[in-house]
Amino acid sequence: MSGLKPFRMPRKTTGNKLTAIMQVRNEEGRYLEALLDDLSSYVDEIVIVDDASTDATVEICKACRKVVRLVENEERLFGCEWRLRQMLWRAAEETEPDWLLAVDADEFYEEAAKTEMRSLINQGAYDWVAFRMYDFWGSVTHYREDAWWNLHQRPTVTLTRYLPGYHYAYPQWAHHVPRLPLTCSALPGALTELRIKHFGWAGSAEQRLQKYERYMQLDPEGKWGSLAHYASILDPNPRLVRWAERIVPKGE
């Protein structure tokens, strides 16, 4: 047995295809159009699952030339988030991807991250990449940073290599399901200081109240998250920090 060597699947180190994956619902009039334009500048393909939108979300997605697969749910999978994640993953698998970038419809990668994206995927040392996620609050100029809102202080895995034959599995949770399969964490990965701007909380106080009420409807007992964290959404005076863009040298 001592002569056995661990098996490692071969890694493609050049010409990797980058596929963005996203689940959406009623995104008209928010960030979807701008996000699709932005993604189209640095990804090769986009795969989307629409969760029974009642507005023009589907039409907006169809108008983007990089969208190669669009799954349209006839009935909303409200309260069964893991099924949505699984559905999106399987739709992406059908496109024979090399790397998958899990994006929400209100998340934008900073210029430095987009510039680095090809070098991050065209290598053979690691199979996932983590970024710093900043929650913008009340505007697109300031992010929130306090005891409850500090996700940016630890990297979040949003980019993974797709290995045919590897076992990818999501936990069967109703809410707060990780955007990528949990089994990705068993593979070697890389932590970065590259940043993502999350604008999901950047709207009005009324919009944040609506999100709070939706969380309480989904998880009234705090089974999938912290009730104290949900309550912090309503904090009238959160600590905000001004965002500073990084200058990316020309030619990089």
Is residue 226 domain-resident? yes
**177, 171 Cβ separation under 8 angstroms:** yes
Q: What is the CATH number of the domain that holds 142?
A: 3.90.550
Is residue 82 domain-resident? yes
Is residue 211 domain-resident? yes
Distance CA 28, CA 8 (A): 44
Task: Give me the pLDDT at residue 54, please.
Answer: 97
Task: Give me the pLDDT at residue 1, please.
Answer: 47
Task: Give me the pLDDT at residue 251, please.
Answer: 58
Give me the count of residues in the chain.
Answer: 252
Is residue 88 domain-resident? yes
Task: Give me the pLDDT at residue 3, please.
Answer: 59
Burial 54-81 (b: 16+ CB within 10 A, else e): eebbbebbeebebbbbbbebeeebeeeb
**106, 135 Cβ separation under 8 angstroms:** no
Backbone phi, psi, residue 200, to 5°:
-60, -25
Number of neighbours of residue 96 by Cβ within 10 angstroms: 11
Task: Give me the pLDDT at residue 5, please.
Answer: 55
Residue 92 CB partners (closer than 8 Å, separation 6+): 19, 21, 47, 69, 100, 162
Is residue 229 domain-resident? yes
Q: Name beta bridge partners: 160.
A: 100, 128
Q: Quick one: tokens of 170? A: 């999501």
Is residue 168 domain-resident? yes
Is residue 85 domain-resident? yes
- Number of folded domains that form the chain: 1
User: How far lies 53's CA from each of 34, 92, 119, in Å?
Assistant: 18, 20, 36
First to last CA, the chain: 48
Is residue 9 domain-resident? no
Specify the DSSP element, H or E, that contains 100: strand 99-102
Q: Quick one: tokens of 240? A: 């905000």
- Per-residue pLDDT in tens (0 to 9) along the chain, 252 residues: 455 555 567 899 999 999 999 999 999 999 999 999 999 999 999 999 999 999 999 999 999 999 999 999 999 987 899 999 999 999 999 999 999 999 999 999 999 999 999 999 999 999 999 999 999 999 999 999 999 999 999 999 999 999 999 999 999 998 889 999 999 999 999 999 999 999 999 999 999 999 999 999 989 999 989 999 999 999 999 999 999 998 876 655
Q: Which domain holds residue 188?
A: 18-242
β-pairing verdict for 156-161 and 128-135: antiparallel
* Strand blocks (E) in the chain: 18-24, 45-50, 67-72, 99-102, 107-109, 128-135, 142-144, 156-161, 189-198, 240-242
